[in-house]
Structure 1
Amino acid sequence: MSQLTESILLPNNLEDATEQAIAATHQAIASGATRVLADLRFPELKAMPIAYEFAASFNQQYGEAWQAIFSDAGAAALAKRKWVDLNVSVRGVNEGRRAIREEDRAFLLIEPTSIEVEQVEKLVQLAGDRPFVMLNPRLENSEVGLGLAARQMRDRFLSTFETAYYIKPLELGALWRCYPQTWQVWNQTEEGMQKLAEVEQRPSSDDIDRLFRQKTGKQSGSFLGRLQQFFNALAR
């Protein structure tokens, strides 16, 4: 697996972003992280093609001694049909101990939602010190109706993960983290994307708005509506 360098730049397209996310994930694991998160936060993104690329990289790294886990039974069934060339074991979150085999060296969980937080936490505990990667978690999906105790459990659980890769397009820029680099806020200008700030911890939406107001006089904390619009801005 190739190692990342200090000169990583914002990706120009989804393929580059996926390659960055995979490399960052494996580098975080090689550096000792066992709970790793990779999140490409694009509103229109289809997770399955990205999950396939991650699965192929896991095959390269671990052979057949790893497990792909889906929270959605339909997605798991689709992966079983489509990923025949990978010869990978596919399980569902609800399968409990059967999803965490003794011979497995690593685990990849695709798109878990807040509904499965308790089940996922049990799986992570069963995995022990073996790498457990969450790809594109959607743990805020069921915020409405989610009780305070459930939200606190979710936040506590997420705090145990190292974010190896995160990219979120904003109305006037982007929030990006590519391990081992720090979190970066980027600003879209007429000349292209320019780095606005680097911070050690993931900034909140309020933090990002404050940065934009301080440095540009504008406010930008919302999603871009279209994936292609974001990459068009990057490619300038």
Structure 2
Amino acid sequence: MWNPHLISEDVGVGFNIWKLRRTFTRVYSMRPLPSGALFRCYPGLWKVFYNDKDRPNRYLLAKELINHPDAEDLEIIDGDVEEKSGQGPSLFDNAVGMFSSLNRFMKAISK
């Protein structure tokens, strides 16, 4: 069923739906991450899980959040988990972290 107020002759349905999607509440979400998963079942909180190194194919809860975490939040949580595990990040992880920090810095000064 289509709402005729969402259709525009200039841009069609897509742009109006894109603007409207900000008002929707995600009731169920499960997204795999490189080192874990992100999960939510409404009305619960957003849960960030990370891989359990001792038990393959199992996850441990890293953090619960009220709002949907963005990429920066997930990177900080992942860094905290690696610190607690006692295993230092690899050279590649350090390089990726440095570039993502530089990217955040460039976005901040360009505003």
TM-score (norm 2): 0.57
Name the Cα RMSD after superposition. Answer: 2.2
User: How many angstroms does 1:195 deviate by?
Assistant: 0.8
Larger Rg: 2
1:133-212 equivalent positions in 2, closer than 5 A? 154=18, 157-190=20-53, 191=55, 192-212=58-78
Question: Following the alignment from structure 2 to structure 1, what is the Cα–Cα distance between the partners of residues 15 and 27?
Answer: 20
User: How many angstroms does 1:162 deviate by?
Assistant: 1.1
- Letter matched to residue 204 of structure 1: D
User: How many angstroms does 1:117 deviate by?
Assistant: 3.0
Name 1:215's counterpart in structure 2.
Answer: 81
- Letter matched to residue 27 of structure 2: A
Question: Following the alignment from structure 2 to structure 1, what is the Cα–Cα distance between the partners of residues 81 and 36?
Answer: 13
Structure of greater relative contact order (alpha carbons < 8 Å, 6+ residues apart) = 1
User: How many angstroms does 1:181 deviate by?
Assistant: 0.9
Question: Following the alignment from structure 2 to structure 1, what is the Cα–Cα distance between the partners of residues 76 and 64?
Answer: 14
User: How many angstroms does 1:193 deviate by?
Assistant: 0.6
Runs of 4+ aligned structure 1 residues displaced above 4 Å come to none
- Letter matched to residue 193 of structure 1: Y
Secondary structure of the structure 2 residue equivalent to 1:166: strand
Name 1:116's counterpart in structure 2.
Answer: 14
User: Percent same amino acid at aligned positions?
Assistant: 23
Equivalenced residues, count: 74
Secondary structure of the structure 2 residue equivalent to 1:201: coil
- Letter matched to residue 14 of structure 2: E
1:1-236 equivalent positions in 2, closer than 5 A? 67=1, 97=4, 116-118=14-16, 120=17, 154=18, 157-190=20-53, 191=55, 192-217=58-83
User: How many angstroms does 1:214 deviate by?
Assistant: 1.4
Name 1:26's counterpart in structure 2.
Answer: none
